[in-house]
Amino acid sequence: MGFKEKGLLVVLSGPSGVGKGTVCKALRARGTSLHYSISVTTRKPREGESDGVQYFFRTREQFQQMIRDGELLEWAEYVGNYYGTPVDYVRKTVEDGRDVILEIEVQGALQIKKKFPQALFIFLAPPNLHELKKRIIGRGTETADLIESRMTVARSEMELMENYDYVVENDEVEKACDRIESIVLAEHCRVDRLIEKYKNNEGADSL
């Protein structure tokens, strides 16, 4: 059987409000080869969000049952809500040679790093914390207390950047997408991913 390169598991995370969802939406609009993995959450849908599109929306009881049944690749509780990644879709897609991008919180990314260190970890960063706070306020969905809670968490998450392979600053969405696509392309050209193909080149002439 010929060489078949596995897909990449691309983990994109960063502080709440940095624009992870916006960047992923822009990547999908470009028609990239990245397959978007939908997370499960117990938070309420925001305006314009639908179950099975942005997230799978579940109750706390349903989510806890998924944990007990081992149906999540990772999960975390963040500002009073659970977030997690369904395991089956991710594993099957990567084994089929397709790239999967996970848009998750920092806690979840660190869980995946322990289980799948070969994944590609990208930290999406704001230009600065002042800009991050402006973006969160601009949503108009959080109370003043919740905004301050998110900023406290964001400061601690920024200190975890050293656990990632790359950092991409989300100063402009299109530029951030360009950087992410370039990183993914470079990873596919790594020697350790392709050397087996050339060591066992079935089309090579016999000597």
What pLDDT, on a 0 to 100 scale, did the predictor assign at position 150? 83
Are 106 and 160 in contact by the 8 Å Cβ rule? The answer is yes
Is the pLDDT score of 205 beyond 60?
no
For the chain, which domains are there? Answer: 9-37+98-199 (3.40.50.300)
pLDDT in tens, 18-49: 989 899 999 989 888 888 888 899 999 988 99
- In whole angstroms, what is the distance from residue 78 CA to residue 90 CA? 22
Is the pLDDT score of 121 beyond 90?
yes
Mean pLDDT computed over every residue of the chain: 88
With b meaning 16 or more CB within 10 Å and e meaning fewer, what string describes 76-89?
A: bebeeebbbbbbee
Contacts 24+ apart (CB under 8 A), 190-195: 193/5, 194/5
User: Which backbone phi and psi does 44 adopt, to 5 degrees?
Assistant: -75, 145
pLDDT in tens, 144-170: 888 888 888 889 999 999 999 999 999
Would you say the pTM of this structure is higher than 0.85?
no
- In whole angstroms, what is the distance from residue 53 CA to residue 5 CA? 29
